Structure 1
């Protein structure tokens, strides 16, 4: 039954609101927040929003978490000097938020801290505050990265693009 419900959400859900929820000015603000935050630590933050999963992928059992790991690999978030890449993944159709951290950060940050960020973002998104939720999530990820991998005084090499990607 759950598989059928997920399939229906991905086929008929509010996935068509992608540009309304994440307009160009919000994407610009998010890119700026990512860029500014990365100056304080040695991590790399990526933000990806996907409107929906392919119906066949849902029917075969692909979860939002599994898809987040695929996107993590696809965007090369794992490929950073200090293994400190972080992906914030939003699946609109299912209203799911997943954070995937590379092994450098994953070894030092309790999974409950990542879950807390997702919960805060979900609360904001549920209230229609896409800007506030996105920017708060980015800021919280920067805080964790800075606590565990602070900048060593050198400029962060900015290994990955800062602009959020819409899938």
Structure 2
């Protein structure tokens, strides 16, 4: 599991507004559909199952973004794939955080996830949301190809459509 801040200036009091603004601006339905297609295509080449969760405004009950991502990981059932190969890419827009959580069936070292988060952080800080997330999905695919190759009975157990929280 790896986490990383986007690298933007975090302005207290404006984070809720900022999260909602970023969601409206960067994640219209056409972008979400494109990202879903990218996820679906990537999952044809390995047994990993990726979920993308984007939260405009994180709930007040969990101030720690890492803990919130773990909560989302559990609530969305990412941990409940038959081969334990679920991967969650979680973006907390208002908190400017990225969390990448992989289940125990994906034996990739933290350095692999750190590289992906570092590049995604740079892309998001530069305003390249669509391109950055697409590149992160492709990088996650490469990790999954290496650490959880395609299984004969691999099925898609998690939705490909990004989850907007």
Give the TM-score category using the shorter length.
Answer: 0.7 to 0.9
Offset, 1:10: 3.6
Offset, 1:143: 0.6
Tell me how far apart the structure 1 counterparts of residues 27 and 39 of structure 2 sit (CA, whole Å).
15
Which residue of structure 2 aligns with residue 36 of structure 1?
41
Tell me which structure has the larger Cα radius of gyration. 1
Q: State the secondary structure of the residue aligned to 1:150.
A: coil
Please list the CA deviations of residues 61-96 of structure 1 after superposition, one character each: whole Å capped at 9, or x if unmatched: x21111110100011000001100000000111211
> Which of the pair is proportionally richer in helix?
1
Offset, 1:15: 3.0
Which residue of structure 2 aligns with residue 113 of structure 1?
112
CA contact (8 A) 1:39 1:155 kept: no
Which residue of structure 1 aligns with residue 104 of structure 2?
103
Which 4+ stretches in 1 moved above 4 angstroms?
none
Which residue of structure 1 aligns with residue 147 of structure 2?
148
Offset, 1:9: 4.7
Offset, 1:127: 1.0
- 1:1-167 to structure 2, matched below 5 A, reads 8-54=13-59, 56-57=60-61, 62-105=63-106, 108-152=107-151, 154=152, 156-167=154-165
What do you get for the CA RMSD once the two structures are aligned?
1.7
Offset, 1:6: 7.7
CA contact (8 A) 2:58 2:95 kept: no
Q: State the secondary structure of the residue aligned to 1:104.
A: coil
Q: State the secondary structure of the residue aligned to 1:133.
A: helix
Unmatched 5+ stretches in structure 1: none
Q: What is the TM-score when the length of structure 1 is the normalising length?
A: 0.86
